């Protein structure tokens, strides 16, 4: 079987694609894959690192307001379609899969023009522009949250969850080795990060909270995001139990060892938390389309699996208070979180790939 897959920009669009590929490879050892991304997105680092053949195209996202940049984007879109037509005629994929981010737009569009079966995976409870545009001609649209079906009235929709969630369940975890790697003692691990690219507001609050966190009976693994790391290290107070990291490549393993996660409410993160049954403190990004992270977080908050802090209310003090509160209610929140997970999402998405290629 041959699949072409595209999703990019941030980890939330890339990890679900990689999780699907792992599942397909387990079923088809001779699977041939070509991943299409851009040079500027995180995919240019993560995809080759996962050993997946990668090619890049040049494309940018459309601006929502009138802008000359949109003329350039239209130009790059047409150029990308021409390049991709050649690529698809040579590679001859059985199925083309888009997992979101603007790069998946021309890839799935070209496949649809050429009559190749296409599948979209939507991670968020409010769909992105690219997927809405492509859904009309897609053979399947796989959704991560029940209740968002109405957003794709004309499409062949299935609610299956997010493959990244089930992927983390499959990870082999050696907790003693993880604790040794970061110099952590036996106290619970609080894992803090701001999505795949880091978040300045979370970094500010953590830096403010470090003197208090130093006195809490926890180990803190604090991931700043690559671009923020130097600045955080230069300004953050030091504490023996707070370990600062730029980016984590083995996140599934760390998540499996953590007792509590503090994070943005990106959709792939949510799928990991609920697959593992982890309590969380979620700080939705207010800078995303249609405030979709607040919507992503809502099921967890309503079911007692997470506490939500609005970015405007986030300070060192509100963060520490919430960490204490969640740890005190850990077990009930963990159970509530587990009830919301989709542990078989990767298999379900792989089933759709098999379905449409027949
Ligand atoms: C600002 C922005 O546009 N955010 C969007 C982006 O988020 P973003 O990519 O930040 O967020 P997600 O939470 O969906 O995914 C992050 C992924 O990166 C992993 N990770 C994170 C940090 C790290 O050091 N190492 C690591 O492996 C996480 O475990 C997770 O699997 O895509 C998601 C869609 O899928 C959306 O819901 C988010 O709104």
- pTM for the model stands at 0.91
109-124 burial, b for 16+ CB within 10 Å, e for fewer?
A: bbbbeeebbbbbbbbb
- Binding-site positions for UDP-N-acetyl-alpha-D-glucosamine read 10-12, 124, 196, 293
Helix (H/G/I), strand (E/B), else coil: 149: helix
- What ipTM did this prediction achieve? 0.96
Nearest atom of ligand 1 to the alpha carbon of 246:
24
Which has the closest alpha carbon to 35: 90, 98, 116? 98
Given a contact cutoff of 8 angstroms between Cβ atoms, the answer to whether 193 and 248 are in contact is yes
Match 């983390």 to its residue by tokens: 168
Q: Using a 6 Å cutoff on CB, does residue 251 contact ligand 1? A: yes
266 Cβ below 6 A of ligand 1:
yes
pLDDT at res. 60: 76
Identify the CA nearest to 24 among candidates 112, 94, 114.
Answer: 94
Cα–Cα distance, 326 to 252 (Å, whole number): 21
Instruction: Give the Cα-Cα-Cα angle 253, 249, 230 (nearest 5 degrees).
Output: 125
User: In the prediction, which pLDDT does 147 show?
Assistant: 83
Q: Which residue has its alpha carbon closest to ligand 1 atom 13?
A: 266
* Phi, then psi, of 243 in degrees rounded to 5: -110, 120
Rounded to an integer, what distance in angstroms lies between the CA atom of residue 349 and that of residue 163? 7
Measured CA to CA, the distance from residue 193 to residue 263 in angstroms comes to 5
> To test the ligand 1 pocket, which listed residue (6, 7, 10) has its Cβ within 8 A of the most ligand atoms?
10
Which H, E and C letters describe 5-45, residue by residue?
Answer: EECCCCHHHHHHHHHHHHHHHHHCCCCEEEEEECCCCCHHH
User: Probe ligand 1: pick from 164, 196, 282, max atoms within 8 Å of CB?
Assistant: 196
Tokens of 102: 């603007």
Describe the strand order of the beta sheet including 242-245 as a list of residue ranges: 242-245, 219-223, 189-193, 260-263, 280-282, 306-308
Per-residue pLDDT of the chain (358 residues; tens, 9 = 90+): 999 999 999 999 999 999 999 999 999 999 999 999 999 999 999 999 999 999 999 987 776 666 777 888 889 999 999 999 999 999 999 999 999 999 999 999 999 999 999 999 999 988 988 899 899 999 999 999 888 888 887 779 999 999 999 989 999 999 999 999 999 999 999 999 999 999 999 999 999 999 999 999 999 999 999 999 999 999 999 999 999 999 999 999 999 999 999 999 999 999 999 999 999 999 999 999 899 999 999 999 999 999 999 999 999 999 999 999 999 999 999 999 999 999 999 999 999 999 999 6
Structure tokens at 70: 């949109």
265: exposed, middle or buried (Cβ count in 10 Å: 0-12, 13-18, 19+): buried
293 touches 266 (CB < 8 A) = yes
The Cα diameter of the chain in Å comes to 61
**Residue pointed to by tokens 């079987």:** 1
> Scanning the structure block, which residue is given the tokens 């790059």?
76
pLDDT at position 146 is 84
Look at residue 115 in the predicted model and tell me its pLDDT: 97
**pLDDT reported for residue 66:** 67
């Amino acid at each position: 079987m041959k699949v072409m897959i595209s999703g990019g920009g941030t980890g939330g669009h890339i990890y679900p694609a990689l999780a699907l590929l792992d599942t397909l490879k387990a079923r088809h050892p001779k699977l041939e894959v070509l991943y299409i991304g851009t040079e500027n997105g995180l995919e240019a680092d993560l995809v080759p690192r996962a050993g997946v053949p990668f090619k890049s195209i040049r494309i940018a996202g459309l601006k929502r307001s009138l802008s000359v940049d949109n003329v350039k984007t239209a130009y790059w879109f047409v150029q990308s379609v021409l390049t991709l037509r050649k690529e698809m005629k040579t590679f001859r994929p059985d199925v083309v899969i888009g997992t979101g981010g603007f790069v998946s737009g021309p890839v799935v569009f070209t496949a649809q023009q050429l009559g190749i079966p296409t599948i979209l995976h939507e991670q968020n409870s409010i769909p992105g522009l690219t997927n809405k545009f492509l859904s009309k001609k897609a053979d399947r649209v796989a959704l991560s949250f029940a209740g968002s079906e109405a957003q794709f009235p004309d499409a062949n929709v299935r609610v299956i969850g997010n493959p990244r969630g089930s992927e983390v369940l499959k990870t082999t975890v050696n907790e003693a080795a993880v604790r040794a790697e970061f110099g952590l003692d036996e106290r619970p691990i609080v894992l803090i990060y701001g999505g795949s690219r880091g978040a300045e507001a979370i970094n500010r609050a953590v830096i403010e909270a470090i003197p208090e966190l130093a006195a809490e009976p926890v180990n803190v693994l604090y991931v700043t995001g690559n671009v923020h790391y130097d600045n955080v290290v230069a300004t953050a107070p030091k504490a023996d139990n707070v370990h600062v990291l730029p980016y984590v490549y083995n996140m599934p393993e760390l998540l499996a060892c953590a007792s509590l996660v503090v994070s943005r409410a990106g959709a792939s993160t949510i799928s990991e938390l609920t697959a593992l049954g982890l309590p969380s403190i979620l700080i939705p990004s207010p800078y995303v389309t249609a405030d979709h992270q607040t919507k992503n977080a809502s099921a967890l908050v309503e079911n007692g699996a997470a506490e939500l802090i609005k970015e405007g209310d986030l300070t060192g003090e509100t963060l520490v208070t919430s960490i204490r509160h969640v740890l005190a209610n850990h077990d009930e929140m963990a159970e509530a979180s587990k009830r919301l997970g989709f542990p078989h999402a990767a298999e379900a998405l792989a089933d759709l790939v098999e379905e449409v290629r027949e």
